[in-house]
Structure 1
Amino acid sequence: MDHNSTQALAEIIPQVDDEQWELPSACGGWRVIDVVAHLAALASEAVDPPPPDPSLPKNRERYHDLRVDERRGWSHAEVLDEWRRSTPRQLDLLEAAQEPPGADQAVEVPGLGTYPRHLLANTMAFNVFCHLRNDMLAPDGPLPFTLPEPTDSQVAPAVDFMLAGLPQMQGPELTATVDGPLVLDLTGPGATTVTVFPASGPDGELTVAPGADASTRVHSTALDFIAWATTRKPWRDHCRITGNASAATPFLDCLNII
């Protein structure tokens, strides 16, 4: 399990001053401090799960906004304290979840689908990596700090979660865009090649399988995939399609991993 992105965030935090915490991040509507509030809220919920509340938004993005809004009146120190308090305990839980017999137990993440318990670590890897590098730090975010080039061990867990979530997060909306198999050929750190297969029946889901099993292929770096598949950047600026471009375009236009 990779802790590098969390460690990188821990090293960035002391360098950020009060004015910088208030700057708008690249995540629409959230200040830089709100991004940390989001990560702190996720960590606290992992450590001390709240009771089910049917009044909460079913849409995962609206749910995250609600949790951030609850913390908007907090001082910077209070937000950072929650993150520092809950994150190590969250990492301990995720570490334990890598071990059998519980590692393969199915866990529902409301609004995002169902995943084997061991993959919840990848969810955190994706969240921290994506928010830190795309929303907080320059060139896309406002903080003028740099990190070393991302490594395979940082990018791959995030991509693994995204590919596990791809068939589930958007349901029929995304499923309807795939009529034939499409290959995602991702290169560089976190490189992987998978085929997205159409649903086999009217109520089925897309499936994502290792390997290249189609002539229509979408080529991108894995690092760029994290940005465009979350709609932070336009896919057309970062993808090259070989084969039948018109077969891949509806899928790429629709894809929005949360």
Structure 2
Amino acid sequence: MGQDLRIGQDSSTMTRAGLVSARVSTGQLADVVALVDDGQWDLPSACAGWRVIDVIAHLGALAHEAVEPPAPDPSLPANRERYHDLRVDERRAWSHAEVVDEWRAFTPRQLEILEAAQEPPRSGQPVEVPGLGTYPRHLLANTMAFNVLCHLRHDMLAPDGPLPFAVPEETDALVAPAVEFMLAGLPQMQGPELAATVAQPLVLDLTGPGATTVTVLPATRQDARLTVRPGAGGATRITSTASDFIAWGTTREPWRDHCRVTGDTSAATPFLDRLDII
């Protein structure tokens, strides 16, 4: 991950938790996919501009590219969200069955690749994810854990999404790896744009399943990134559940609906207004 990040960099703390979370969320998604009828596939999801089937197209495209990486193409969008939109658009003419089949065919192979990435020395190798930053290879499992959990629970399923199906309640093992990826990406995805909003340490206190407490430290140079470190190291505190952080930290929902800020509210507000983890 980025040089300014301290969370998860020590190989002695590395675990396979991201892979476990990704497998659990994928199994829960498979159970939901089996219940969706043709009409429900075309309902708008809570991910702006995407139908429910488009969410599966996105996850299938990610799995396909993990297994069969495409050749570099400088004509593709540099913005990661626009890149994902393009890959979804390429599949809009596919039948529902074709989209689901791609996801089913490549997801198990993606998980196998991520499992192999947990073993040293490859596990610590830096991998650049275009538009998102650089991460140790083992943490790529956390990106999948985040993607599947977020899209399933916040975009597809009620109350935010249109599908009326139930899944098991969230657990630490499910949520914590997704949050770890978000915190790893926080200093990198928006770079100086986000760093410019932080002038003093901000404590992010996440509660419930996936609970953790970290401090966002100001950049030390004008062109540098923020630093995220474990523990509470400041007087201004932003409190939210970890599950809600997945929603507001990705701007799916307003942070004001989920966060309690104590200390210097004026110091936290610019950061919260600008944060947008992809």
**TM-score > 0.5 by shorter chain:** yes
Out of 21, 45, 66, which is 1:46 matched to? Answer: 66
| 1:246 and 2:266 correspond | yes
Query: Tell me, what secondary structure is at the counterpart of 1:66?
Result: helix
Out of 143, 147, 150, which is 2:170 matched to? Answer: 150
| 1:57 and 2:77 correspond | yes
Equivalent residue, structure 2, for 1:214: 234
**8 Å Cα contact 2:154/2:247 also seen in 1:** yes
More relative contact order, 1 or 2 (CA 8 Å, 6+ apart): 2
Shift of 1:72: 0.3
Shift of 1:149: 1.0
Out of 188, 193, 197, which is 2:208 matched to? Answer: 188
Query: Tell me, what secondary structure is at the counterpart of 1:157?
Result: helix
**8 Å Cα contact 2:29/2:152 also seen in 1:** yes
Out of 113, 133, 141, which is 1:93 matched to? Answer: 113
Out of 16, 22, 26, which is 1:6 matched to? Answer: 26
Q: In the aligned structure 2, how far is the partner of 1:21 from the partner of 1:12?
A: 11
Query: Tell me, what secondary structure is at the counterpart of 1:201?
Result: coil
Equivalent residue, structure 2, for 1:223: 243
Aligned length: 258
Q: In the aligned structure 2, how far is the partner of 1:112 from the partner of 1:222?
A: 21
Equivalent residue, structure 1, for 2:11: none
1:117-162 alpha-carbon deviations (Å, 9 max, x no partner): 0000000000000000000000110001011111111100110000
Q: Which letter maps to 1:160? A: E
Q: Which letter maps to 1:237? A: D
Query: Tell me, what secondary structure is at the counterpart of 2:34?
Result: helix
Shift of 1:26: 0.6
Q: In the aligned structure 2, how far is the partner of 1:199 from the partner of 1:132?
A: 34
Q: In the aligned structure 1, how far is the partner of 2:221 from the partner of 2:190?
A: 17
* Runs of 5+ unmatched residues, structure 1: none
Within 5 Å, which residues of 2 pair with 1:63-142? 63-142=83-162
Shift of 1:171: 1.3
Q: In the aligned structure 2, how far is the partner of 1:108 from the partner of 1:71?
A: 25
Shift of 1:73: 0.4
Equivalent residue, structure 2, for 1:233: 253
**8 Å Cα contact 2:200/2:217 also seen in 1:** yes
Q: In the aligned structure 2, how far is the partner of 1:156 from the partner of 1:36?
A: 23
Q: Which letter maps to 2:216? A: V
* Runs of 5+ unmatched residues, structure 2: 1-18
Query: Tell me, what secondary structure is at the counterpart of 1:100?
Result: coil
Q: In the aligned structure 2, how far is the partner of 1:137 from the partner of 1:187?
A: 22
Q: In the aligned structure 2, how far is the partner of 1:142 from the partner of 1:164?
A: 30
Shift of 1:202: 1.8
| 1:22 and 2:22 correspond | no
Q: Which letter maps to 2:251? A: T
Equivalent residue, structure 2, for 1:169: 189
Query: Tell me, what secondary structure is at the counterpart of 1:149?
Result: coil
